[in-house]
Structure 1
Amino acid sequence: MEDLAPVNNSDGTKLIEEEEPTQPTSGLTGGSVNLANSILGSGIIGTPYAFKQAGLPLGVILLFAIAGITDYSLNILMKAAELAGSRSYQDLLQASYGLPGYYFLTCIQFAYPLVAMIGYHVIIGDTISQVCERIFGENHVLANRYFVISVITLLILLPLSFYKNVTKLVKVAFLSMVLLILLCVVIIIRIGTIDIEVEPGDWNFANINAIESVSILTFAFVCHHNAFLIFASLETPTQTMWKKVTHYAVVMATIFLLIVGVTGYITFKHFTQGDLLQNYCYTDDLVNIARVAFAITIMCTYPLECLVCREVVENFIVRHGWVGSEPTLERHLINTLIIVGIALGVSMSTECLGLVLILNGIFGAIPLIMILPAACYIRWEGGKWYGWQKLPAICLLVVGIAVVISGIITIFVDHTVAECKTGEAFDYCNETNIQLDRQLSS
């Protein structure tokens, strides 16, 4: 989108803030870290489970394939927006496919980050409550996951969610990336301290549940719902700059996902859970440090998802004339409270992160990454619809539709997706605790 004049989005935000020079912007590094942080949410901790479902070798292949698809789809998404003269994802879908396209995207673009927020609540409940159980005992109020989720939401997540501009979250995103490095280090260290016997099938090249793996990995990479907000925050929002941002962000995210996925699966093999940190014993203090670090990472990513939900709601209600086009503080506060309240309430009904990842992957991430960017690019790129330039987008569209259909079928067939356990439910935990106690005593 080169040489665009300052213009308002339909959601009230500005693509380029030339009229307000004091508005903060981010450069290549800030934009890349913000985009990478958007990718590296709850999906990273589910990557080992994705490798379990697909088989480790096939899982790694799928990881690199979806990384390439993510980079490609982010670029054709912005290219289509430039050709259509659109400044937001909703505007692009309406310009491409009318009101049905607009409403379809509005539902997905609201539901996807909302379900991601629900997943973040689940992770916070899993991690912080186990750490508090280790410190204060299992009967302490802070060991109650529902109490922990509620308190952290009120004291940390809600205040962070009131931010209006993604650029202000750059420092938070940098903190998130640093803590993810700590998480990776701890997971690598723990490979040698947990001894689990190999069972038949642990080293299969491919497993029958590979479609679930595609859903989880797609969920892990999706950031398209944030793409226009991050693009608008760049100092020089051009196609050239955007390509650099997406390349750097996808590479950073892929490295983290690969490290956590491979090392996590190698450690627990057939025991691997949807939330990898649930596999570790709550008495493992080194992992408890990682639990706290990852919980903070989730808290850093949470407000970005809330911001997207709020922008979608604002765009929708303004468009239908229910409120004035000028944003107000009161409306901002009310929308934020409602969105966070919904995410908090729904998160109390489940403790299984794997199910959340799979469902959001099938119904949210795959349309956002594969189907919709490809459909918009095919619509606006010149030439015949079956031309060579459009062929990758056509393939992406077909694959996306096929994965959604296959994923829905798999959910009904595989009833294990709704099952989850904590580390203490596994026999290896007692043996691991004994080993750790010996290490401490020596």
Structure 2
Amino acid sequence: MLQYISIFVTGIPYALHQAGFGIGLFLLVLVALATDYSLILMIRSGHLSGAFSYQGLMEAAFGKPGFILLSLLQFIYPFIAMVSYNVAVGDTLTKVLMRVAGVGVESLLSHREVVVALATILITAPLCLYKDIAKLAKISFLSLVFVAFILITIFIRLGTLHDIIPSTHDSWRFANWGIIPSIGIMAFAFMCHHNTFLLYGSIQDADQHRWDTVTHASILTSLVVSALFGIAGYATFTGNSQGDLLENYCWNDDLMNVSRISFSITILLTFPIECFVIREVIENSFFSNLTSPEDKWRTLRHVGITIMIVITTYLISMATDCLGVVLELNGILAAVPLAYVLPAVSYLKLQEGSVFSHKKFPALCLALFGIIIAISGMVLLITNSNNVDTCSHGNEPPYCFTNVTTG
């Protein structure tokens, strides 16, 4: 399960700033514990229902409505994830190309719309057209290597930039007002529930005890990595921390440009996997009744759906250059319900006994936690809708023009 350490741990410093450094670290531990427990609940529920897939579990607990709700969320989560990937590629790869090509802001390569379009046409769209993504799934180990490399470079830059980057008036504030959005970002970073049963099936002689042990170890490792990213990134930039930490580094910082390349490669290779999930949801929801003789349009439909998904996510990603907002949105809309609410309510429905029994009460608390976060987050998203696109990643940070030494 370690391969599911999210590349978007680069958003943790921003989450710590949103919630306040002290409260943010507490929330990071809380989200890790909630994730750990919810993953354990899913396998328990699988044993109770005999259904060892997320879809089967929801259908066993709540019938067809449960299946439909899960399908909707499983569409939303990877769809917004694909949007976030485009935003991140536009933010990071643009700087690298400008640096390598030696061009200025007047060049086409300085426009994120062009860079993302080129990446889509040349890389992600062709990969998305593959019907078998088994080989792409193997990039999970490569992702781990890149995450480790990026973390090392962040600590290197902590040593060279800590005393140079100007502090903000709210630096090291213990608590802040962005608690709910920060939980959304953290939930997104820990999210792996859509692969839970696949991971369980990959364990030799799998049983509940072995799954619990693997889950504890994996979540603990993810927590440590996330905390290291958060602390090192926040210690370097404090209140200047962006939704994508790599945006904080100067464009001429070649070490961090290598990190940007690593980040972009991982994203570009992960993008088709999310597209595959969306395509499967569409196929299962609208075309599952077609039999092989009748399904003579399958290949054409495969291409059409794929192109529609890729184009739509590209167009939406051009609406914002603020990765933090997209991470918050996906965390609140999809990651929190998928990770906390649905596993908990499924277990409550399938497990016999009172909801206040020692077996079910923790699940009740988890469900309430997820519901409160989801509802509060939705209210904040609606009330703050006019301020969604407030950050601009098109400009180099001001401190990059004041004798910043990258070492």
Task: Tell me the TM-score normalised to structure 2 length.
Answer: 0.90
Equivalent pairs: percent with the same residue? 40
Query: How far apart are 1:409 and its partner, in Å?
Result: 2.8
1:186 aligns with 2:157: no
| Alpha carbons 2:234, 2:241 under 8 Å: kept | yes
Letter in 2 for 1:172: I
**Residue of structure 2 in register with 1:207 after alignment:** 176
- How far apart in 1 are the matches of 2:381 and 2:241? 19
1:293 aligns with 2:258: no
- How far apart in 1 are the matches of 2:30 and 2:141? 26
- How does 1:391-406 map onto structure 2 within 5 Å? 391-406=361-376
| Alpha carbons 2:34, 2:340 under 8 Å: kept | yes
| Alpha carbons 1:128, 1:295 under 8 Å: kept | yes
1:142 to 102, 109, 127: 109
1:372 to 332, 342, 346: 342
Distance 1:304 1:204, change over 3 A: same
The SS at the match of 1:67 is helix
Distance 1:171 1:90, change over 3 A: closer
- How does 1:148-159 map onto structure 2 within 5 Å? 148-159=115-126
- How does 1:265-414 map onto structure 2 within 5 Å? 265-319=234-288, 321-322=289-290, 324=292, 329-414=299-384
1:161 aligns with 2:132: no
- How far apart in 1 are the matches of 2:44 and 2:131? 26
**Residue of structure 2 in register with 1:428 after alignment:** 399
Letter in 1 for 2:148: I
Task: Tell me the TM-score normalised to structure 1 length.
Answer: 0.83
1:80 to 12, 27, 45: 45
- How far apart in 2 are the matches of 1:272 and 1:115? 22
Q: Identify which range, 161-170 or 122-131, moves more after superposition.
A: 161-170
1:132 to 91, 97, 105: 97
**Residue of structure 2 in register with 1:97 after alignment:** 62
Q: Identify which range, 210-219 or 187-196, moves more after superposition.
A: 187-196
1:228 aligns with 2:197: yes
The SS at the match of 1:193 is helix
Q: Identify which range, 374-383 or 322-331, moves more after superposition.
A: 322-331
Q: Identify which range, 117-126 or 307-316, moves more after superposition.
A: 307-316
Pairs aligned (count)? 400
Q: Identify which range, 122-131 or 190-199, moves more after superposition.
A: 190-199
Structure 1: give runs of 5+ residues left out of the alignment: 1-31
**Residue of structure 2 in register with 1:4 after alignment:** none
| Alpha carbons 1:125, 1:148 under 8 Å: kept | yes
Distance 1:323 1:148, change over 3 A: farther
| Alpha carbons 1:218, 1:361 under 8 Å: kept | yes
**Residue of structure 2 in register with 1:13 after alignment:** none
Letter in 2 for 1:418: D
| Alpha carbons 1:120, 1:298 under 8 Å: kept | yes
Distance 1:326 1:102, change over 3 A: farther
- How far apart in 2 are the matches of 1:141 and 1:230? 43
Deviation track 1:341-383 (CA, whole Å, cap 9, x = no partner) reads 3222221222111111111111101101111000001111122
Letter in 2 for 1:310: R
**Residue of structure 1 in register with 2:74 after alignment:** 109
Query: How far apart are 1:309 and its partner, in Å?
Result: 1.7
**Residue of structure 2 in register with 1:20 after alignment:** none
- How far apart in 2 are the matches of 1:181 and 1:88? 31
Letter in 2 for 1:65: L
Letter in 2 for 1:258: A
| Alpha carbons 2:321, 2:393 under 8 Å: kept | no
| Alpha carbons 1:51, 1:261 under 8 Å: kept | yes
Distance 1:146 1:237, change over 3 A: farther
Distance 1:342 1:214, change over 3 A: same
Letter in 2 for 1:40: S
The SS at the match of 2:33 is helix
- How far apart in 2 are the matches of 1:249 and 1:164? 30
Query: How far apart are 1:234 and its partner, in Å?
Result: 5.0
Distance 1:229 1:169, change over 3 A: farther
- How far apart in 2 are the matches of 1:92 and 1:346? 32
**Residue of structure 2 in register with 1:263 after alignment:** 232
| Alpha carbons 2:244, 2:323 under 8 Å: kept | yes
**Residue of structure 2 in register with 1:17 after alignment:** none
- How far apart in 2 are the matches of 1:301 and 1:248? 24
The SS at the match of 1:274 is coil
Distance 1:249 1:362, change over 3 A: same
Q: Identify which range, 406-415 or 137-146, moves more after superposition.
A: 406-415
| Alpha carbons 1:118, 1:344 under 8 Å: kept | yes
Distance 1:71 1:169, change over 3 A: farther
**Residue of structure 1 in register with 2:187 after alignment:** 218
Letter in 2 for 1:305: E
Deviation track 1:21-53 (CA, whole Å, cap 9, x = no partner) reads xxxxxxxxxxx244x2xx403x31211110001
- CA RMSD in angstroms comes to 2.5
- How far apart in 1 are the matches of 2:279 and 2:235? 40
Letter in 2 for 1:290: S
- How far apart in 2 are the matches of 1:343 and 1:201? 35
| Alpha carbons 2:340, 2:370 under 8 Å: kept | yes
**Residue of structure 2 in register with 1:59 after alignment:** 24
The SS at the match of 2:402 is helix
**Residue of structure 1 in register with 2:141 after alignment:** 174
Distance 1:219 1:277, change over 3 A: same
